[in-house]
């Protein structure tokens, strides 16, 4: 039975909880400031931040499930839960883009007063905090190829983008004066395009993981190199990899001297498996098929 209790996943599951704490604090700050600063865009932004709390909790849950050890019912483990969490997070990102776009159009069509200048101070704090959080989570997600964490990072970045758009729009409105009230709403509408694009991109990444798309040729070449470096291996004929969570399962056909005993061939296969799992390639398990060299 494959051992898919990847310690990386169990450790990574704490990363989304940092986002939960930050989003809860910023959501309260934005809503309060929006009410007193006469900025509906900031209030809507604060409400959208509360949805990010739910998304981060979903990502956290997916990573926790993915860390569950393999068993008889799931011999390949629960790694696909990470990709499923990525799908949910990507769909939530697309939903956020739609909600923000609808709110922006409604505000453009509804006359309203200019926000107070103090809202700009809060928006600068929000942009700096959320962009920093997005880069931190995104860096970790890219390092272990976690679609769920990368989607969570883009939720943080989408918050930073909408806040940046609000900052630009409010600044234009304050400088332009009467008649420029919808400037922040137009800016938020433009930010929705970037957010939606990121949502579709992340949805495609999660879909490829769920459908067992082949990983990069570079990873396959590295797996072949490690296997061919094991004494007794003459050649690697076939090599297939599938991603599960942040780890990979390998199915590999290695050719050995056709005149050796079955025991010797079995021992070579065991050494190939051990070499692959020790190669720092995040190989959860490898299934070795021995063939005679031709």
Give ∠ CA 51-56-62 in degrees, rounded to 5: 130
CB 85 within 8 A of CB 58: yes
Instruction: Tell me the average pLDDT across 58-76.
Output: 85
Tell me the CATH number at 279: 3.30.70.1350
6 pLDDT higher than 60: no
182 pLDDT higher than 80: no
Among 25-29, 128-132, 142-146, the range scoring the smallest mean pLDDT is 142-146
The mean pLDDT value of the chain amounts to: 84
- Which of 19-28, 82-91, 166-175, 216-225 is the most confident on average? 216-225
pLDDT band at 240 (very low <50, low <70, confident <90, very high): very high
Q: Are 121 and 187 members of one domain? A: yes
Among 144-148, 177-181, 283-287, the range scoring the smallest mean pLDDT is 177-181
Q: How many domains does the chain have?
A: 2
Q: Which residue has the higher pLDDT, 180 or 273?
A: 273
- Where a domain ends, among 168, 187, 210? 210
Q: Are 206 and 228 members of one domain? A: no
Instruction: Tell me the average pLDDT across 227-252.
Output: 91
- Where a domain ends, among 149, 181, 210? 210
CB 24 within 8 A of CB 53: yes
Residue 9 pLDDT: 60
- Where a domain ends, among 178, 210, 242? 210
Q: Are 221 and 193 members of one domain? A: no
Q: Are 190 and 155 members of one domain? A: yes
Which residues lie below 8 Å from residue 133, measured CB to CB, with a gap of 6+? Answer: 18, 19, 22, 153, 156
- Using DSSP bridges, classify how beta strands 247-256 and 283-292 pair: parallel, antiparallel or unpaired: parallel
pLDDT band at 7 (very low <50, low <70, confident <90, very high): very low
pTM of the model: 0.71
Q: Are 240 and 191 members of one domain? A: no
Q: Are 204 and 274 members of one domain? A: no
Q: Are 35 and 165 members of one domain? A: yes
Domain with 175 in it:
7-210
Instruction: Tell me the average pLDDT across 163-192.
Output: 78
Q: Are 284 and 198 members of one domain? A: no
Q: Residue written as tokens 């025991």?
A: 263
């Amino acid at each position: 039975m494959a051992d898919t209790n990847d310690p990386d996943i169990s450790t990574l599951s704490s990363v989304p909880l940092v986002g939960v704490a930050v989003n809860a604090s910023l959501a309260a700050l934005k809503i309060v400031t929006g009410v007193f600063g006469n900025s509906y865009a900031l209030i809507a932004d604060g409400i959208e931040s509360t949805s990010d709390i739910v998304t981060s909790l979903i990502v956290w849950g997916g990573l926790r499930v993915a860390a569950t050890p393999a068993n008889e019912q799931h011999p390949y483990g629960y790694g696909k839960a990470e990709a499923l969490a990525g799908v949910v997070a990507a769909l939530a990102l697309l939903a956020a883009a739609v909600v923000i776009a609808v709110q922006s159009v409604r505000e453009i069509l509804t006359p309203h007063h200019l926000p107070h200048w103090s809202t700009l101070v809060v928006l600068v704090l929000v942009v700096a905090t959320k962009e920093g959080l997005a880069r931190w989570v995104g860096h970790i997600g890219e390092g272990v190829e976690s679609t769920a964490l990368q989607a969570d990072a883009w939720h943080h970045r989408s918050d930073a983008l909408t806040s940046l758009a609000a900052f630009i729009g409010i600044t234009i409105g304050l400088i332009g004066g009467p008649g420029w009230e919808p400037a922040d709403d137009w800016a938020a509408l433009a930010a929705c395009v970037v957010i939606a694009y990121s949502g579709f991109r992340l949805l495609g990444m999660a879909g490829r993981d769920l459908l067992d798309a082949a990983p990069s040729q570079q990873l396959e070449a590295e797996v072949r190199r490690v296997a061919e470096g094991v004494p007794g291996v003459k050649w690697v004929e076939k090599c297939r990899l599938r991603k599960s969570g942040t780890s990979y399962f390998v199915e590999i056909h290695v050719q050995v001297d056709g005149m050796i005993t079955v025991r010797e061939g079995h021992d070579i296969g065991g050494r190939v498996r051990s070499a692959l799992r020790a190669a720092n390639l995040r190989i959860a398990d490898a299934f070795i098929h021995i063939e005679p060299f031709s």
